């Protein structure tokens, strides 16, 4: 039987649904969102807190998108804080990126296949992926890939980008 892939969404994977000023990310996020029900979706209290910081109109719109999706809400636990601290101690991320470390920790705790984000500076880059890969190996945990939503869009959906 086919096992559905588990995806953790960070805040940017949701907030780009309402950022038409970034047309490529906006389009890919909507294409990804259209087929999001193919996956088991996880978001955390970090995402909810970050979305709540948006102005009221934007927050309502983004929470509207989230409410249309079946997802599991992950709460903060001692394990999450310990994993996030380990990520910082291993210098996978700098101390100022503790919330990003918590996103990774949540995704690792529930053994997601992917952490989906538009945050290329701290998360979806080769250095962070390599640091997380080494950490999961050392902790004997399932590895995870940190990728942008565009990597989960089916090729035929994005063919108009090549024209």
Please state the domain extents for the chain. Answer: 6-155
Q: How many CA atoms lie within 13 Å of 101's alpha carbon, on the beta-carbon side?
A: 22
Fold of 6-155: Rossmann fold (3.40.50)
Whether this prediction's pTM lies above 0.85 is answered by yes
pLDDT for position 19: 87
pLDDT for position 149: 95
**pLDDT band for position 163 (50/70/90)?**
very low
64-96 pLDDT, tens digit each: 999 999 999 999 999 999 999 999 999 999 999
């Amino acid at each position: 039987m086919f096992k559905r892939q588990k995806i953790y969404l960070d805040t940017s994977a949701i907030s780009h649904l309402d950022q038409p000023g970034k047309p490529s990310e906006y389009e890919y996020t909507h294409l990804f969102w259209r087929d999001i029900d193919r996956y088991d979706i996880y978001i955390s209290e970090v995402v909810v807190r970050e979305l709540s910081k948006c102005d009221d109109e934007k927050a309502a719109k983004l929470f509207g998108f989230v409410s249309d999706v079946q997802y599991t809400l992950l709460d903060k636990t001692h394990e999450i804080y310990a994993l996030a601290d380990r990520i910082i101690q291993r210098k996978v991320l700098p101390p100022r990126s503790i919330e990003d470390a918590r996103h990774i920790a949540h995704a690792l705790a529930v053994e997601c296949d992917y952490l989906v984000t538009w945050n290329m500076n701290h998360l979806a880059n080769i250095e962070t992926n390599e640091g997380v890969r080494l950490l999961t190996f050392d902790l004997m945990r399932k590895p995870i890939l940190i990728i942008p939503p565009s990597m989960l869009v089916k090729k035929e959906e994005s063919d108009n980008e090549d024209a």
